[in-house]
Amino acid sequence: MDYLAGLNPQQRAAVENTQGPAMIVAGAGSGKTRVITYRVAHLIEKGVDAFNILVLTFTNKASKDMRERISKVVGPEAKNLWMGTFHSVFAKILRVEAEKIGYPSNFTIYDTDDSKSLIRAILREMQLDDKLYNANFVYNRISSAKNNLVSHVEYMQSAEIQAEDLSNKRPMLGVIYETYTKRCFKAGAMDFDDLLFKTNVLLKNHPDVLNKYQQKFKYLMVDEYQDTNFSQYTIVKKLAAAYQNICVVGDDAQSIYGFRGANIQNILNFEKDYPDLKVYKLEQNYRSTQNIVEVANSIIANNKNQLEKNVFSENESGDRIKVSRAFTDNEEGKIVAEAIVQDRSSNGLNYNDFAILYRTNAQSRAMEEALRKLSVPYKIYGGLSFYQRKEIKDLIAYFRLTFNPSDEEAIKRVINYPRRGLGDTTVDKIIVAADQHNITMWKVIQDPQKYIAGRIANQLNDFAMLIKSFQAESKKLDAYETALYISQHSGILKELHTDDSIEGRSRYENIQELLNGIKEFAEREDIEDRSLAIFMQDIALLTNDDREDDKLKDTVSMMTIHSAKGLEFKNVFVVGLEENLFPSQMSLNSRTDLEEERRLFYVAITRAEKKLTLTYATSRYRWGTLTNCEPSRFISEINAKYLELETVKAPKTSIGSDSFDGERRSWSQQRDSDSFSKPKPSVSGTATSVSARPKNTMLPTAHIPTPGFRPDAANAFQNGMEVEHEKFGFGKIINLEGTLPDVKATVFFQGLGNKQLLLKFAKLRIVK
């Protein structure tokens, strides 16, 4: 029982009391992970069979870390735990029980791109305006319905929902939802939301299955319970109903995923579901200095809707929190970069002791430029995932077809890659034939002469034989050998190997890296099933929060605050603290949304261990226009005694009405100035004339293309990609509209603003 010795009284009580419903309210930095892992270990030490314990997390990384910690206490028995993310655990159950709800056990899991691609295809077939029925909007609408357990049938039958869609001039949303659902079913595919939605259907319609898993999971633990949605809440409640040995862990002050459907009421009202609930409050923060904790407390105290707790720290008082005012976003970047260089030098720190957190990804640009100028190494998190790169998705589409040839999105992706004379016209013919005969695309491809006239039948036969050869080999070979065979015989390796451009070599290396990862997976000894199908399921279920561990790399971390949840750094910079940016303009219409923004700020503050700096700019480029900015209301909510204000020397041409003497002023002096009174009505969006541009903000110069500049094909581009244009320079794709070959991209170029370009003529090169 040595593992109990290091726990404080509240932690120990939460670990030792394992019977009945319990809620552990874990403040930031309070040792939550230690309590969860020791509680599970304690159950096993007391004789509970590990097979009867279910632990649900929100990231694969969290479950992996917990399992490793538990194994240090109980040994190999930790391998027998059912532990993982909601999606991975219930995908595993659905594989076993799929036939009961009409799905094959080898169903494909569609990622967001697959789902949106299918939605775009449906919009084209229905001849709907893709501006009014934007694929992103439609996808989010369907996702929201599923997370609230509203089926397409209930959606169509709800007078309230139909009236809402009609008032929004989108009366066909229900029909799109129905068509999307049927097409996924026909393709033997589930999207992310289906993994929870279909689990609810399974447990509701099959009492025998519900009873089976209630008896199996006699003890349930749910991490980050404040982030659960209605669908997750319902599954957990059903599974725990028999024994009620349910323990949820979370912090309502860190509930920041309302936009994903998370419902903070799940944790706030947990006691209503379980009147015999025992509540354990972990209030001692072991991570941060006293000043940082007090600042966080003073912020979150402004929220009315919260669980009562008193977070405290017994660490050193620490430095006061620095608030730095800049005149432009570029100046803000310079302040942060120079502070990192100085702190690292004077305090003997590493670059990986620093993190820069921002509200939106667009803010990274000014920070990147400033860090580069001072040769500070950095890494941005939350960019394009390795598994979202085109060449990776292409090869994985072949893997998917090998195990589920009905997967229509995979067919459409690779039927003509590498090119084999089966273009869009052929694909359209296959789709029409499949719809007319109510069969899958694969059945048409297998027997093309029966459904499609003309010479393309031979090419379709060849493609079908290729996929069948992959299926045959997969039954004889392990995961790595199967993947290598497919990559070689599909033609992808040859296609990329013959492309001697920098991008071509990079894509070829990415394929090699994927194969290396599969080789590593095939040699693992800690899992029973090391098939390629299981590898594909694992990567399909990776979340945005499952980032690679770069702690060993000495780089400054840059990320959105949402991505930073669960992490900690010695020194943290929270940048862009301005009205309409943070809090977001979208959050100012209701108290509920504003309180979530405040919780987001609380999360940002509590990532810091030793030093916290807050920055804002009085002007910022937004969508290519220089706008005046007001400091965030959140700054004025902090108790002044914990803060230290710094300003930088103003440029000769001031922006707005403020002028500064360039000297450091005390916080009390600053609070007396107008800019830190209650926020004024925002003037964001008001253009500042070029004559008022600060002298240190350079106008764009002519762009010199990167040596060996070679544009990418129009079908290679995705939203969020960073690109280079021969004339306009470097930019970022913020929107894609239309269908190939007439896809139109909206690209934001620094200093030039938004440009709309037809991809087939634009000559853009993918940077990353």
Q: Which of 179, 252, 313 is nearest to 598 (CA)?
A: 252
Catalytic annotation, pick one of 224, 391, 609, 712: 224
d(CA 661, CA 509): 54
Determine whether 607 is an active site residue.
Answer: yes
Q: Alpha carbon of 560 to those of 134, 381, 465, 607: distances in Å?
A: 25, 8, 46, 12
Burial class, 677, CB count within 10 angstroms (exposed 0-12 / middle 13-18 / buried 19+): exposed
Which alpha helices (DSSP H) does 523-590 contain, by range?
Answer: 532-540, 561-564
Q: Which is it for strands 569-574 and 608-617: parallel, antiparallel or unpaired?
A: parallel
34 counts as catalytic: no
Is 423 annotated in a binding site? The answer is no
Query: For helices 9-16 and 32-45, what crossing angle results, to 10°?
Result: 40
Cβ contact 401:407 at 8 Å: yes
**Crossing angle of the two packed helices 230-240 and 135-147, in degrees rounded to 10:** 20
Helix, strand or coil, per DSSP, at residue 22: strand
Integer Cα distance of 87 and 232 in angstroms: 10
> Does the annotation place 301 within a ligand binding site?
no
Catalytic residue, chosen from 183, 287, 607, 611, is 607
Mark whether 523 is an active-site residue. no
What SS3 state is found at 276?
coil
Q: Is 27 labelled as part of a ligand binding site?
A: yes
Q: Which of 12, 16, 18, 33 is catalytic?
A: 33
Distance CA 598, CA 576 (A): 14
- Residue 753 marked in a binding site: no
Burial class (CB in 10 A: 0-12, 13-18, 19+), 100: middle
C-beta of residue 750 within 8 angstroms of C-beta of residue 365:
yes
Cis, bond preceding 21 (omega within 30 deg of 0): no
Cα angle 328-332-334, degrees, rounded to a multiple of 5: 115
Three-state DSSP state, 189: strand
Is 517 annotated for ligand binding?
A: no
Q: Is 59 annotated as a binding residue?
A: no
223 tagged catalytic: yes
Catalytic residue among 10, 32, 120, 606: 32
29 annotated as ligand-binding: yes
CA dist 309 → 73, 284, 312, 444 (Å): 31, 10, 10, 62
Bridge partners of 756, per DSSP, are 746
- The distance of Cα 365 from the centroid of its chain, to the nearest Å, equals 20
33 is catalytic: yes
With H, G, I as helix, E, B as strand and everything else as coil, classify residue 687: strand
Residue with tokens 């209503």: 272
| CA dist., res. 78 & res. 68, Å (int) | 8
CA distance 716 to 713: 6
Please report the sign of the dihedral spanned by the C-alpha atoms of residue 260, residue 266, residue 267, residue 268: positive
CA 517, chain centre distance (Å)? 22
Q: In angstroms, rounded to a whole number, what is the distance separating the alpha carbons of residues 503 and 485?
A: 24
Is there a binding annotation on residue 425?
no
Binding site, annotated residues for ATP: 26-33
Binding site, annotated residues: 26-33
**Could you give the residue numbers annotated as active site?**
32-33, 223-224, 254, 607
